[in-house]
């Protein structure tokens, strides 16, 4: 009885993990299509375009950025919406011949992207 219960918990955990993974596939895809060429697959500023701009794409897994993110959880989403660095990003993409298709962001897309990046940053050391 106990063993069956424990085994079914294991199955539930698996189902849950794959569900949250599936939910987050959108965030991961957005990140890889629109951010990773600069910020890198590891979000450490290691993408091929990271050093094509001045300043370069920062490592977003540092203790300093983790603190910034916890003090101000909107920092990722607002960096996309408010574009605090003006035309630096579109210009860097243009100068390096990298085209990213225009995209009509929805609230869910911002949440998914934010969740994906926040999780990777939290796990990074």
Q: Which residues bind ligand HEC (CB under 6 A)?
A: 34-35, 37-39, 49, 53, 55-58, 60, 68, 75-76, 79-80, 85, 88-89, 92-93
Q: Which is nearer to ligand HEC, 19 or 88 (CB)?
A: 88
Q: Which is nearer to ligand HEC, 80 or 124 (CB)?
A: 80
Q: CA 32, 74, 110, 86 torsion: positive or negative?
A: negative
What would you measure as the largest C-alpha separation in the chain, in angstroms? 65
Q: What's the min distance (Å) between Cβ of 20 and ligand HEC?
A: 20
- Give residues with Cβ within 8 angstroms of 2, minimum separation 6: none
């Amino acid at each position: 009885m106990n063993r069956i219960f424990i085994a079914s918990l294991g199955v539930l955990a698996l189902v849950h993990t794959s569900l949250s993974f599936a939910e987050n596939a959108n965030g991961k895809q957005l990140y890889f299509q629109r951010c990773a060429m600069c910020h890198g697959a590891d979000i450490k500023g290691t993408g091929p375009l990271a050093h094509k701009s001045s300043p370069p794409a920062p490592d977003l897994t540092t203790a300093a950025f983790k603190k910034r993110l916890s003090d101000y959880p909107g920092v990722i989403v607002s960096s996309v919406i408010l574009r605090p660095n003006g035309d630096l990003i579109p210009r860097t993409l243009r100068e390096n011949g990298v085209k990213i298709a225009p995209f009509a962001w929805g609230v869910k897309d911002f949440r998914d992207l934010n969740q994906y990046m926040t999780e990777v940053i939290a796990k990074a050391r």
